[in-house]
Structure 1
Amino acid sequence: MRIRPRRPAATRSLRRLLAAGLAAVLVVPAYGCRAELTPPGAPTAWPAGQSRHWQWQWQLTGPLDPTVDADVFLLDPVDTTAAQTAELRSENRRLICQVHVGSVRPADPDASRFPETVRGSVGRRPGSRWLDVRGWDALEPVLADRFRLCRGKGFGAVALADADGYASRTGFPLDFDDQLLFNRRLARLARSLSLSPGLVNDVPQVAALAPDFDFAVNEECVRLGQCAKLLPFADAGKPVFHVEYTGSTGDFCVTTVGYGFASIRKDRTLDASRDACPRP
């Protein structure tokens, strides 16, 4: 029987290293093929030259549909997961979170942080109550954390909902200037946390607030005859994301696209379904 000479220990170690290296070469490409996601950083940019060409989606209920043909998604920051925002960002979608800044519901995760002294009358959402926007010292820490949740989940912009309580019966003697100060403070707070601020409705204050906000979200300006009042945003090259809940796109698209708005028709449930106006 022929006995093979034993290889030196150094040679055996070298062979093992080469084998391990070959295995690493075979395994690494499987991970290297995945596109590395850019983590959220600066606030969402809205180039003025593109303001008339955005397509958008507003979804607050039902399973998120990431395949919708839209450049911009307006979503709930509590229900939307970081994995979902990462998927959308990987497709170069711009993400806006909706934060209710002027009202609170018992079901909100942070509801207990709002003192009873700043809670007023029944709000427009079921079970909600209006907040006293004059109580900035009490509201700012809670709202800042709501904004931080958006930032942490990968959103680059925030839409401020219920930012028009002064026009409702809130239980507090709020006036136009109280709301104006509150909304401007919120815009500054959003920017300090690397979020682009957007104004939801509050049409009577659009002219005064357009310089402070980067975009507007509007419900039913056609039905309410208010579209022309949103022109301070459109004329400044800032996006106006508009939705109608009645009629058809054929009824309002000519008007709103002519104004330079990004318009869609949706059900009030704000689920995944939508009909979009064509790009200009």
Structure 2
Amino acid sequence: MNWSHVTSSRRVRRGLRACVAACIALVVPAIVGVASASAVWVPRPGTTWQWDIIENVPEPFLPVQMYDVDLEQAVPSETRIPVTLGGRTTVVTWRAGQNAGIVDRLHRAGKIAICYLDTGAYETYRPDAALFPGTPGWRRGDPSSDVILNDTGWNDEYWLDIRPGQWQKFAPIMWARLDLAKRIGCDGVEPDQNNPWRNVPDDFPLTLAHQKAWYLKVAEQAHLRDLSVGMKNAPEEEVTDADTVRAFDWNLNEECFVYEECDTLEQFIDAGKAVFNTEFTDVWVAERRTSRYADPLVLRRTVCALAARRDRYGRLTYLSRFSILIKTEVPDDPYYTC
């Protein structure tokens, strides 16, 4: 998503869908993710980072090992990327972004450059938006809207139908975005919005098995381009499991502390892979019904204390090895960590 297009509040629905049993029963297609290529970046637990996916990232850079920046804003100069969809090739022009050249500058500063992009959502304002088939808003039986679903809660952004048999209608557009990331020198990618299961209409026939299969496909495509790739969100145990932990090089999670759903992420720590966690002040205010968490310093004390809790034997847990950031609603300049 383009963070200049954000709404004033998050509207992502957190309730569980009624189809859990059916989801578990389905067999995930045999695309179980490839193991991380040896050439790609696989960060260890505790790797330091900054998440700044806005225009005009401040410099000089912070003393961290990795920066996560927006792909479109990082394009250094006008770049043309071909997209072949339905047997027809279209060349998409990506113009220089407001952080033009930032990937090279990060490399000169000795940092890893991760590039943020959506792979599971349609954004009306991206240069490749005209290539997506259909119109927003799923209506049962309407073939014109069988790919672009309901809005994600962010302005001008809509979930995509990631079911097998449907994603082929738009996936080449996303793979071309990975080509762009490779072309401009990103070390890896943060693919977002691949987890529509909790957020589409209850009667839409999407399952957790579909979601897991799509995650694995995204990881596979990133590795085909020698890009490091992180698994974003989807803490459900049917999705974050041995297959996805093996397929992805790291994890990026939003808000697992406030929603008390960090448990499945221990698998990444056990595998020697970093978990980059961010907790947002506005979400804590809404969920805990108190304005005290609007102060990022208060929230930092709270979250860092949770991460530092010890088990019954007096030992620190896997939570202490998370790479934690405290942010306001938009992942931007403020930098608060444990």
Shorter-chain TM-score bucket reads 0.7 to 0.9
Residue 261 of structure 1 pairs with residue 322 of structure 2:
yes
Asked if structure 2 preserves the Cα contact closer than 8 Å seen for 1:197 and 1:213, the reply is yes
**Cα distance change of structure 1 residues 130 and 43 upon mapping to structure 2, 3 Å threshold:** farther
Asked if structure 1 preserves the Cα contact closer than 8 Å seen for 2:120 and 2:162, the reply is yes
Deviation by residue 1:64-94 (Cα, 9 ceiling, x = unmatched): 1241222111111001243211010112211
Asked if structure 2 preserves the Cα contact closer than 8 Å seen for 1:234 and 1:240, the reply is yes
Alignment of 1:156-235 (within 5 A): 156-169=187-200, 172-204=204-236, 205-208=239-242, 209-235=244-270
Asked if structure 1 preserves the Cα contact closer than 8 Å seen for 2:274 and 2:322, the reply is yes
- Count of aligned positions: 233
Residue 125 of structure 1 pairs with residue 154 of structure 2:
yes
More helix by percentage: 1
**Aligned match of 1:55 in 42, 48, 52?**
48
Aligned equivalents of 1:131 and 1:191: distance in 2?
22
Aligned equivalents of 1:74 and 1:91: distance in 2?
14
Residue 78 of structure 1 pairs with residue 129 of structure 2:
no
**Aligned match of 2:42 in 46, 60, 66?**
46
Asked if structure 1 preserves the Cα contact closer than 8 Å seen for 2:188 and 2:229, the reply is yes
Question: Aligned with 2:104: secondary structure?
Answer: helix
Asked if structure 1 preserves the Cα contact closer than 8 Å seen for 2:42 and 2:228, the reply is no
Aligned equivalents of 2:264 and 2:329: distance in 1?
23
- When normalised by structure 1's length, the TM-score is 0.78
Asked if structure 1 preserves the Cα contact closer than 8 Å seen for 2:46 and 2:274, the reply is no
Asked if structure 2 preserves the Cα contact closer than 8 Å seen for 1:43 and 1:191, the reply is no
Unaligned runs of 5+ in 2: 1-37, 77-100, 135-145, 282-292, 294-298, 309-316
Asked if structure 2 preserves the Cα contact closer than 8 Å seen for 1:57 and 1:74, the reply is yes
Asked if structure 2 preserves the Cα contact closer than 8 Å seen for 1:77 and 1:153, the reply is no
Aligned equivalents of 2:323 and 2:307: distance in 1?
8
Matched residues, percent identical?
Answer: 25
Question: What's the offset of the Cα at 1:59?
Answer: 0.8
Deviation by residue 1:142-185 (Cα, 9 ceiling, x = unmatched): 01111111111211111121111122115841111111111111
Aligned equivalents of 2:161 and 2:45: distance in 1?
36
Aligned equivalents of 2:108 and 2:121: distance in 1?
33
Question: Aligned with 2:170: secondary structure?
Answer: helix
Aligned equivalents of 1:52 and 1:122: distance in 2?
34
Asked if structure 1 preserves the Cα contact closer than 8 Å seen for 2:254 and 2:278, the reply is yes
Aligned residue number for residue 6 of structure 1: none
Query: Alpha carbon RMSD of aligned pairs, Å?
Result: 1.8
- When normalised by structure 2's length, the TM-score is 0.65
Unaligned runs of 5+ in 1: 1-41
Question: Aligned with 2:178: secondary structure?
Answer: helix
Deviation by residue 1:225-257 (Cα, 9 ceiling, x = unmatched): 112221011111101001111242221124336
Aligned equivalents of 1:155 and 1:44: distance in 2?
11
Deviation by residue 1:93-133 (Cα, 9 ceiling, x = unmatched): 11111121111121111111111141111223212111111
**Cα distance change of structure 1 residues 125 and 178 upon mapping to structure 2, 3 Å threshold:** same
Greater shift, 118-127 or 212-221, is seen at: 118-127
Aligned residue number for residue 241 of structure 1: 276
Aligned residue number for residue 7 of structure 1: none
Question: What's the offset of the Cα at 1:43?
Answer: 5.2
Question: Aligned with 2:197: secondary structure?
Answer: helix
* Aligned-partner residue type, residue 147 of structure 1: L
Asked if structure 2 preserves the Cα contact closer than 8 Å seen for 1:133 and 1:139, the reply is no
**Aligned match of 2:303 in 252, 259, 262?**
252
Aligned equivalents of 1:172 and 1:161: distance in 2?
21
Asked if structure 2 preserves the Cα contact closer than 8 Å seen for 1:74 and 1:95, the reply is yes
Deviation by residue 1:16-38 (Cα, 9 ceiling, x = unmatched): xxxxxxxxxxxxxxxxxxxxxxx
Aligned equivalents of 1:43 and 1:137: distance in 2?
28
Q: Who wins on radius of gyration, i.e. which is larger? A: 1
